[in-house]
Amino acid sequence: MRLRFILSEVVKGMGRNIAMTISVILVTCVSLLFVGVALLTQIQVSKVQEQWADRVQVSIYMCAEGDPTPSCAGKAATESQLAAVRERLESAELKPYIREVTFTDRKKAFAEFSERFADSTLASAATEEMMPESFRVSLADPSRYDVISSEFDSMAGVQSVQDQRQLIEPLLTTLNRATGLAAGLAAVMTVAAVLLITTTIRLSALSRRRQTTVMRYVGASALFIQAPFMVEGALAALIGALVAVGALWAFVHFVVAGWIAPAMGFVPFVTSHDLLIVAPILIVAAIVLALIASAFSLAKYAKV
C-alpha cells in the first residue's frame, strides 16, 4: 500500500513538473556523457600504452652511401664503426638497460622499404646502397631512451638515434588533453545537474506542501513523506544515465568500431566491452547524486 502510494506520488510529481523533469533528464544525460567520454578516453590511453610499451624500440641508424647528414659526410659506415656500436651495445654498462638488439642490414632494410612503399615512386627510385643499416634496440625500461641516445648520438658512423615513442607521444598527449577537457566539462555539467535536480524537487515539494503538512500531522515519518520526491529525482537521473549510456554505446559501436578502428588497425580502440565497465559507474553516480541533491533540497528548502 505504501509502495503504491509512493509510486503514484512519483508519477503525479513528474507529470506536474514535466518540463523540469525533462530538463533534469537532459542535463543529467549531457553531464554523464562527458563523464563517460573522460573514462573511455582514459581507458583508450591505457590500451595504447599497454600495447606499445613492450614494442617501442630505439633505432640506431648508421650512415649510408651518399647520406648528406653532416656526421656522415656522404660516406657509409665502415665495418669497424659497425663493430664499435655492436660492442658498445653488448657492454656490461648498457646490459641492464637493453632487453634485445636486432641488426638490420642494407638488404633487409631495402626489402622492408620496398614493401612499405610498393605503391609509391620512392620504391622505384631507391637502391639497396641508399638504405642505412641499423640496430633496433628493445629497452628493458622504455622511458630510459636517453641512456642509448647519449651513448650513440656522437659515435662515428652513426647517422641518428630515433625513439619510436615519438610516433605515439602526440596521440597520447591528445588523448590526455581530451580526457582533461571532458572531465572539466563533466564537472561543470554535474554541478548544473545537481542544482537543477535540487530546484525541481524544491518546486515539487512546495506544490504539495499542504499535503505533506497533513501527512506530518497524522504521524507519517519524515522518510515516508520525503520518499516520493527522492524517488522522483532518482528516476529522472536514472533515465538520463540510461540515455547517456545508449549514446555512448552508439558512438563506440558505429563511430569508433565501425569507422575509426578499421582505418587505424595498429591502434587498439575501446570496445563495447569497455563500456560495460563504465556504464554501471555512470548509473550509480546518477542515482547517488540525485538522492543527495533531493535530500539536501528537502532538508534545506522545502522543510517537509
> Cα-flanking dihedrals φ and ψ of residue 90, to 5°?
-90, 5
pLDDT for res 161 = 87
Could you say which DSSP state residue 73 is in?
A: T
Mean predicted confidence (pLDDT) in 113-121: 71
Q: What is the pLDDT of residues 226-266, one digit of tens each?
A: 667 777 778 888 999 999 999 999 999 998 888 888 877 66
pLDDT for res 302 = 46
Partners of 62 in beta bridges: 158
Of the listed ranges 55-59, 99-103, 159-163, 267-271, the least confidently predicted one is: 55-59
Mean predicted confidence (pLDDT) in 159-163: 85
Mean predicted confidence (pLDDT) in 208-217: 56
Mean predicted confidence (pLDDT) in 203-216: 60
Partners of 59 in beta bridges: 136, 162
Mean predicted confidence (pLDDT) in 200-220: 60
> Cα-flanking dihedrals φ and ψ of residue 239, to 5°?
-60, -45
Mean predicted confidence (pLDDT) in 39-56: 76
Residue 217 pLDDT > 60: no
Cell of 93: 654498462
Q: Which of 238, 251, 209 is nearest to 226 (CA)?
A: 209
Q: Is 33 exposed, middle or buried (0-12, 13-18, 19+ CB in 10 A)?
A: buried
Mean predicted confidence (pLDDT) in 65-87: 87
Helices (H), the chain: 2-16, 18-53, 79-89, 106-116, 121-125, 145-152, 165-207, 209-217, 222-250, 261-263, 272-297
What average pLDDT is seen over the chain? Answer: 78
Per-residue DSSP letters for 136-188? EEEESSGGGHHHHHHHHTTSTTEEEEEETHHHHHHHHHHHHHHHHHHHHHHHH
> Cα-flanking dihedrals φ and ψ of residue 102, to 5°?
-125, 130
Q: Which of 184, 231, 224, 218 is nearest to 37 (CA)?
A: 184
Find cell 523533469 and name the residue. Answer: 21
pLDDT for res 283 = 93
Q: Distances from the Cα of 159 to the Cαs of 131, 138, 182, 249, in angstroms?
A: 12, 19, 42, 48
More confident residue, 148 or 55: 148
More confident residue, 148 or 80: 80
Angle at 94 between CA 90 and CA 100, to 5 degrees: 60
Q: What is the pLDDT of residues 167-193, one digit of tens each?
A: 667 766 777 787 888 788 888 878 887
Q: Is 83 exposed, middle or buried (0-12, 13-18, 19+ CB in 10 A)?
A: exposed
Residue 290 pLDDT > 80: yes
pLDDT for res 196 = 78
pTM: 0.63
Mapping DSSP to helix (H, G, I), strand (E, B) and coil, where does residue 75 land? coil
pLDDT for res 54 = 59
Percent of the chain at pLDDT > 90 equals 10
Residue 205 pLDDT > 70: no
